[in-house]
Amino acid sequence: MTKLSTILAGALLAALTQFAAAQTDTGMSNPSDPAYTDQSRLNQSSDPYIKKRVTTKQAKDQYKAEKKEAKSEYKEDKANAKAEYRAAKKEAKETRKEELKETGR
C-alpha cells in the first residue's frame, strides 16, 4: 500500500509541475519575433485565397457604397414625388372649392 501511495504522490507531483509550467507560459509570442510575422500578409501577392479575400472585400465595399448612394437618391426622389403629390392635391382641392362656389352649392 505504501508503494501505491508513493507512486500516486509522484504522479500527482509530476502532473502539478506540468500544470504549473503550462500556466507560466502565456502562449503569447513576441510580435517582433520574425517567426511570429503574419505569413498571410507576406504572401498576399502570391496566395490565391488571400487574393480572393481581398478582391471580395473590395467588391463588397464598392457595392455597399453604390447601394448607399442609390438609396439616398431614391429617398430624395421619393420626397420630391411626395411634395409634388401634396401640391397637386392642394391645387385640386382649391379648384373644387372654386367650382362649387360658382355653381352655388
Largest CA distance in the chain: 122
40 touches 50 (CB < 8 A): yes
Q: Could you tell me the residue ranges of all domains in the chain?
A: 43-105
Q: CA nearest 48: which of 60, 38, 40?
A: 40
Q: What pLDDT is attached to residue 8?
A: 79
Q: What pLDDT is attached to residue 103?
A: 85
Q: What is the pLDDT along the chain (105 residues), one digit of tens a residue?
A: 678 788 878 887 787 788 777 666 555 566 666 655 665 555 567 788 888 999 999 999 999 999 999 999 999 999 999 999 999 999 999 999 999 988 876
